[in-house]
Structure 1
């Protein structure tokens, strides 16, 4: 099983949409896909119609009960081959527990390791803050997928995210390849074009060849999650990004 952590320390960069579109593309291609929602806001879970009340069993239990298995916490979705382990607001309380409860830093990694033969891919939708949940995801991941808007403020957030990835990589003592996906790109603006050029100059082949354009159809996450295969510029761009991610040469570039 390949585990991808979709993360950025800045919010509003299309992180959940990226997680959703990549997972949907993998499932449509015939892979067995597990989504793990680690964001207490649970936007990814809501996209699949999972109710807020009563709180569903999901990713919180992975940190409070070491015997829990992802396959038992996963909920089915309308997409064949795609299941989700939903988030709950109680995830926000784990930061306080992490200071006093040993072993929480490796809880997610243990659960993913136990599920390695059940799924082909696991995609982790991380909260937009550096803390226990994001570090768990990065420590367990085979790859970091970092969506970023093409604007100057977002590029600052990306640098912070990659510094965090470097820190976790040193701690876990194995490579953490990273792929950068430019999102919400408006090619009509000079700022957008300049920021995209700066991304490519700074990070080279770690950046997806095609930027994801602004696309209002992608704002309806529920339609992307549960509806038929979406036909739009943004959806097509995500399919191209997925093909790039699945190309072995791209992984070599990310690890270089």
Structure 2
């Protein structure tokens, strides 16, 4: 059964795209069939996956706005990355306006993914760092939200706004949407504020906070400039080990959920 994750945070610079690319590669490394959908006009998940965002036949813009079948927009990433990609580039900026005039505008991505959903174990959607129609499409298409959070003061402020957004989407457009987990990123244990924020997250959200923590790591920061996930660029680095651990934690959570008995109606 396929799980669709939206990787989202309305605050930028929290490791959202880094997490999308590296989690996709890490899940693929566990022999899962994975698709990464880049729905951010910056196209950083595309370039970070080793694909030229200006040299693809079709992008997510064509799927959302021109009714191109999503199968035609699938782009292969380098073989050692192991996952399929739907690319994005600056053309997607126009989609934010064009979608407003379309019928079923909030469901364009969900309807597109329905064509290929059963072909994958996991579909990850890298969202823009803002609440717009692209993000709404991602949250409407998703089963679950992964929220990367940098352990700093303003992260908690942004988290409240995101939680309100997710709740509104759940009530109006996607009743099954839920928080999959909060992922602590760019973590520096030597920083007392990092530890304080981490403890506050656990206090407020309990087991919704992933046990895996993504550390500040030079190799993790370098990998996108080489167009590769960190597990390809430096598989022994702390960043690579952390994302592989996150993939394992997500798989265990999924297995636990599926193992739960179905309540009698």
| 8 Å contact kept, 2:212–2:249 | no
Please state if 1:106 is matched with 2:107. Answer: yes
In structure 2, what is the equivalent of residue 46 of structure 1?
Answer: 47
Report what 2:79 is aligned to: 79
Instruction: Pick from 193, 198, 201 the counterpart of residue 199 of structure 1.
Output: 201
Q: Which runs of no fewer than 5 residues in structure 2 stay unpaired? A: 258-265
- What TM-score does the superposition give when structure 1 sets the normalisation length? 0.91
Distance 1:183 1:251 in 2: 24
Structure 2 match to 1:165: 166
Alpha-carbon offset, residue 157 of structure 1: 1.2
Tell me the equivalent position of 1:233.
238
C-alpha contact (below 8 Å) 2:58/2:72 kept by paired residues = no
Distance apart, 1:187 and its partner CA: 0.6
Aligned to 1:69: 69
Residue of structure 1 in register with 2:220 after alignment: 218
Q: How far apart, CA to CA, are the structure 1 residues paired with 2:21 and 2:211? A: 20
Distance between the aligned counterparts of 1:225 and 1:24, measured in 2?
Answer: 9
Change in CA separation of 1:225 and 1:47 when aligned onto 2, cut-off 3 Å: farther
Counterpart CA distance in 2 for 1:250 and 1:211 is: 21
Aligned residues of 2:63 and 2:112 also touching (Cα < 8 A): yes
1:246 corresponding residue in structure 2: 251
- What whole-Å deviation, never above 9, does each CA across 1:78-112 have from its counterpart, x for those lacking one? 23641111002111112222332222211100111
Do 2:6 and 2:144's aligned partners in 1 also have CA atoms closer than 8 Å? yes
Whether 1:181 aligns to 2:188 is: no
Alignment-derived partner of residue 116 in structure 1:
117
Q: Indicate the SS of the match to 2:37.
A: strand
Aligned-residue Cα RMSD (Å) equals 2.0
> Equivalents in 1 of 2:163, 2:256: separation in Å?
16
* Uncovered stretches (5+) of structure 1, i.e. residues with no partner: none
Q: Identify the residue that residue 60 of structure 1 maps to in structure 2.
A: 61
Distance in 2 (CA, whole Å) between partners of 1:165 and 1:109 is 16
Please say if 1:209 is aligned against 2:211: yes
Aligned partners of 1:71 and 1:115 also within 8 Å: yes
* C-alpha distance in structure 1 between counterparts of 2:23 and 2:196, whole Å: 26
Return closer, same or farther for 1:134/1:113 CA change in 2, 3 Å cut-off. same
Is the contact made by 1:150 and 1:183 (CA closer than 8 Å) also made in structure 2? yes
Secondary structure in 1 aligned to 2:117?
A: coil
Give the superposition deviation at 1:50. 2.5
Q: Deviations over 1:101-154 (max 9, x none)?
A: 222211100111111222221110000010111110111101100000001111
